[in-house]
């Protein structure tokens, strides 16, 4: 099979290096002999419905709303997600795949891929290293760099990606991100998949099923160095 990775609106949602997530997925898939194609979708281009993995990154407030409106109008991402495609959405991207979010014009609906409401509070902006104990799978401690104003409350049946050991994350009940079916949301930049190779493989496996092991020593070293510096372990 050919794995199709769709990078959405990198111009609008690429403020914090999250486009690197695509490169990490491609690198780790090719290392297993999986053929990969990367489809870049620019604003106002049609979103393919048959992709395997859809990626959304972080962005500034204005572009975030522009992106949300185009995603809603196109409908391709919702269609693909309903059909079981894998989605990884970071920061502003995470906020727009939720059910609702605050904007300058008040509360607006999100894409509703997950049940989550993002609010803007007067709390200081959450900026800094984020350390997360994953709630599912056999993932090790995850790390990333967060930089966001909005805080995200998950609906009662929404599993978080993990619980916060240090940093803010979603800002409610120590939860960080979301992992619902094949949909992942997170506040971790870094990019998240570069700093957390096991998370990268988890995302890949949602799309391609079990894979043979692959150890990239530099990736492991980077993940371990960050964990060690931030937790002492």
Partner 1 sequence: MTNSLRLELACAIGQVAGGVSRALKRGRGDTLTGRVILALDKNALSKLASQRDLVLVSGTNGKTTSTANLAKILEQYAHEGVSTSGSGANMPAGIVAALASKPRNRFAAIEVDEMYLPQIFRQTKPKVVVLLNLSRDQLHRTGEVRKVSQLWNDTFATDDVSLVIDRDDPFLEYSAAQAGHVIRIGFGGRKHPDAATCPKCAAILDWSTGDYSCVCGLGTKLPDVRADKRLRGPQRNSTLVIEAARLMGAEINAQEAQELISQSPDRITEFEAANRKIPTHLAKNPESWREALAQITKQSVILSVNARGIDGRDTSWLWDIDYSSLQGKQVVCTGDRKLDVAYRLSVQGIDVVLANDFESAAATCATSQIQAIASYTAFQDLAAQALGIAATQGGHV
Question: Does residue 60 belong to the site contacting partner 1 (CB under 8 A)?
Answer: yes
Selected from 3, 12, 88, 161, the binder of partner 1 by CB under 8 A is 12
Does residue 160 contact residue 179 with C-beta atoms inside 8 Å?
A: yes
Residue 213's SS3 state is coil
* Cα–Cα distance for residue pair 98/104, rounded to 1 Å: 17
Which of the 8 DSSP states describes residue 79?
H
Cβ 5 to partner 1 shortest distance, Å: 14
- Asked about 148 being catalytic, the answer comes back as no
Q: Is 206 a catalytic residue?
A: no
Which of 10, 27, 180, 189 does the annotation list as catalytic?
189
- Ranges within 20-49 binding partner 1 (CB under 8 A): 20, 23-24, 27, 43-44
Q: Which stretch binds partner 1 (CB under 8 A): 47-55, 108-116, 125-133, 150-158?
A: 125-133
Residue 80, exposed/middle/buried by CB under 10 A (0-12, 13-18, 19+)? buried
Among 47, 51, 55, 63, binds partner 1 (CB under 8 A): 63
Q: Report the b/e string of 152-188 with b at 16+ CB within 10 A.
A: bbbeeebebbbebbebbbbbeeebbbbbbebbbbbbb
Among 88, 189, 199, 204, binds partner 1 (CB under 8 A): 189
- Stated as kind and residue range, the H or E segment containing 13 is none
Say how far apart CA 1 and CA 16 lie, in whole Å: 31
Among 191, 199, 202, 204, binds partner 1 (CB under 8 A): 191
Q: Which residues bind partner 1 (CB under 8 A)?
A: 11-12, 14-20, 23-24, 27, 43-44, 60-63, 65-66, 125, 127-129, 145, 147, 189-191, 194, 216, 218-219, 221-222, 225, 229-230
Report the catalytic residues: 91, 189
């Amino acid at each position: 099979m050919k794995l199709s990775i769709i990078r959405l609106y990198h111009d609008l949602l690429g403020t914090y290096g999250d486009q690197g997530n695509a490169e990490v997925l491609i690198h780790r898939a090719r290392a297993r002999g999986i053929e990969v194609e990367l489809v870049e979708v620019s604003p106002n281009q049609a979103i393919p419905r048959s992709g395997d993995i859809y990626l959304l990154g972080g962005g500034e407030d204005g572009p975030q709303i522009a992106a949300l409106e185009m995603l809603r109008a196109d409908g391709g991402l919702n269609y693909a997600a309903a059909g079981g495609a894998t989605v990884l959405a970071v920061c502003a991207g995470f906020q727009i795949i939720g059910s609702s979010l605050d904007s300058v014009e008040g509360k607006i609906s999100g894409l509703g891929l997950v049940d989550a409401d993002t609010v803007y509070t007067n709390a200081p902006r959450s900026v800094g290293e984020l350390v997360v104990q994953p709630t599912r799978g056999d993932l090790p401690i995850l790390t990333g760099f967060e930089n966001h104003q909005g805080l995200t409350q998950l609906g009662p049946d929404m599993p978080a990606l993990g619980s916060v050991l240090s940093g803010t994350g979603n800002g409610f009940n120590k939860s960080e991100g979301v992992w619902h079916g094949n949909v992942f949301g997170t506040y971790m930049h870094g990019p998240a998949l570069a700093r957390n190779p096991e998370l990268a493989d988890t995302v890949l496996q949602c799309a391609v099923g079990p894979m043979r092991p692959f150890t990239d020593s530099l990736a492991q070293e980077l993940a371990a160095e960050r964990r060690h510096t931030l937790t002492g372990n």
